[in-house]
Amino acid sequence: MCHTSGSDAVFTPSAALDHFREYRIQIGTGITDLSGNFLDGSSETSFETLGNVVISPADPEGMILISGGRFMMGADSQTDSDAEANEGPVHSVTLKGPFYISDHEVTVGEYKACVDAGECSQPGTGTYSDNLSLPVNKVSWVQANEFAQWKTSQASKTYRLCTSAEWEYAARAGTTTPWSFPEDANPQDYAWYDSNNKVPYGTGPKRVKTKLPNAFGLYDVHGNLREWVQDFSSDDYSADANGVTDPKGPLQGDDRVTRGGYYSESRKKMRSSHREPKTETTKYVGVGIRLCADP
């Protein structure tokens, strides 16, 4: 409802407004204020709701609900000395939300249930499949989507791969530094990577959720396995330099994007902004799956 009171217009919404949305108000001619004075002409204004980000704890399936948000995506030499060309320019991204993201990488046990149901094909040979709590690796981007489709048929959510923007927003968890953990923290408390992927722990991926989570409650966003996202790869973010809402990446390309680094890579490869292209049909030893979902 909108009414005039002197020279002021007061807008009272008839329902709760969503987070991180732009709203536009149009006031037509013929409106009078409380003194009976007519509005001389029509007027239009707009505003955004930029309320606090709402992060709901993980549900029984490990899915965390995020209301949406705005952040600076990517990195360049001014923000990160290790930044690579395909990580820039740094640009503003708005995610309308809400969306779900898993607090863990898809496990061997979870993926095996899809294989047993006849809806997913086997991972590549030599995968670490003897422990059902390990993250499944040697699965292609195509297989990751097959798994998401099967999960959708088994639950009330619409499962899918995360967009690269959703992944980075959740991985950063409100930080603007290269990693989502505190700058004075020991990275080995938060990630499996080349510095601790050795005796006495052994090589290869490790059981999910054995390191500390980030501020949003996500485990293993740095290290353990790289994670497929939905987007095609691009040379840089120049197309989004002026800011973008709910980006989904290029419409076409030769490769898909992986995020997060894996167990035998360096800290540089684990950075929140780092992204690496991979062929969508190839089963890589260091790549696994983290799912997003629509409510």
Contacts of 61 (CB under 8 A, 6+ apart): 102, 155
Q: Which two tokens stand for residue 87?
A: 């990580």
Q: What confidence score (pLDDT) does residue 108 get? A: 95
CA distance 148 to 160: 5
**CA nearest neighbour of 43 among 60, 25, 61:** 25
Final residue of a structural domain among 31, 48, 65: 48
In degrees and rounded to multiples of 5, residue 56 shows phi and psi of -90, 140
Least confident of 5-19, 130-144, 169-183, 234-248: 5-19
Q: Which residue has the higher pLDDT, 175 or 39?
A: 175
Residues 280 and 214 placed together within one structural domain of the fold: yes
| pLDDT of 248 higher than 90 | yes
Residue 163 belongs to a domain with what CATH number? 3.90.1580.10
Residues 284 and 138 placed together within one structural domain of the fold: yes
Residues 155 and 236 placed together within one structural domain of the fold: yes
Residues 14 and 76 placed together within one structural domain of the fold: no
CA distance 253 to 232: 5
Residues 224 and 153 placed together within one structural domain of the fold: yes
Residues 130 and 38 placed together within one structural domain of the fold: no
Residues 7 and 140 placed together within one structural domain of the fold: no
Q: What confidence score (pLDDT) does residue 2 get? A: 45
Q: What confidence score (pLDDT) does residue 277 get? A: 98
Q: Which two tokens stand for residue 137?
A: 């690796």
Final residue of a structural domain among 26, 48, 70: 48
Residue 294 neighbours by CB distance under 10 Å: 12
pTM of the model: 0.85
Residues 25 and 153 placed together within one structural domain of the fold: no
CA distance 191 to 262: 9
The number of residues in the chain equals 295
Contacts of 200 (CB under 8 A, 6+ apart): none
| pLDDT of 231 higher than 60 | yes
| pLDDT of 11 higher than 70 | no
Q: What confidence score (pLDDT) does residue 126 get? A: 72
> Where are the extended beta strands (E) located within the chain?
2-5, 8-11, 22-27, 43-48, 55-56, 63-66, 69-73, 91-95, 99-102, 158-161, 226-232, 244-245, 256-259, 275-278, 287-288, 291-294
Which amino acid, residue 232? F
Q: Which two tokens stand for residue 145?
A: 């989507």
DSSP state of 142: H
**CA nearest neighbour of 160 among 230, 219, 97, 225:** 230
User: What are the tens digits of pLDDT across the range 45-104?
Assistant: 665 555 568 899 999 999 999 999 999 999 999 999 999 999 999 999 999 999 999 999
Contacts of 284 (CB under 8 A, 6+ apart): 137, 138, 226, 258, 278
Residues 11 and 97 placed together within one structural domain of the fold: no
**Mean of the per-residue pLDDT values for the chain?**
89
Q: What confidence score (pLDDT) does residue 18 get? A: 58
Confidence class for position 5, pLDDT limits 50, 70, 90: very low
Which amino acid, residue 282? T
Residues of the domain holding 106: 55-294
Q: What confidence score (pLDDT) does residue 14 get? A: 72
CA distance 250 to 94: 17
Burial 235-267 (b: 16+ CB within 10 A, else e): eebeebeeebeebebeeeeebbbbbbbbbbbeb
Residues 27 and 149 placed together within one structural domain of the fold: no
Q: What confidence score (pLDDT) does residue 42 get? A: 66
Contact 229, 99 (CB under 8 A): no
Helices (H), ranges, 117-210: 141-154, 164-172
User: What are the tens digits of pLDDT across the range 115-152?
Assistant: 999 999 999 987 766 789 999 999 999 999 999 999 99
Contact 257, 232 (CB under 8 A): yes
Residues 86 and 145 placed together within one structural domain of the fold: yes
User: What are the tens digits of pLDDT across the range 12-49?
Assistant: 777 665 555 566 667 666 666 667 676 666 666 665 55
How many domains is the chain built from? 2
Contact 123, 137 (CB under 8 A): yes
Residues 100 and 38 placed together within one structural domain of the fold: no
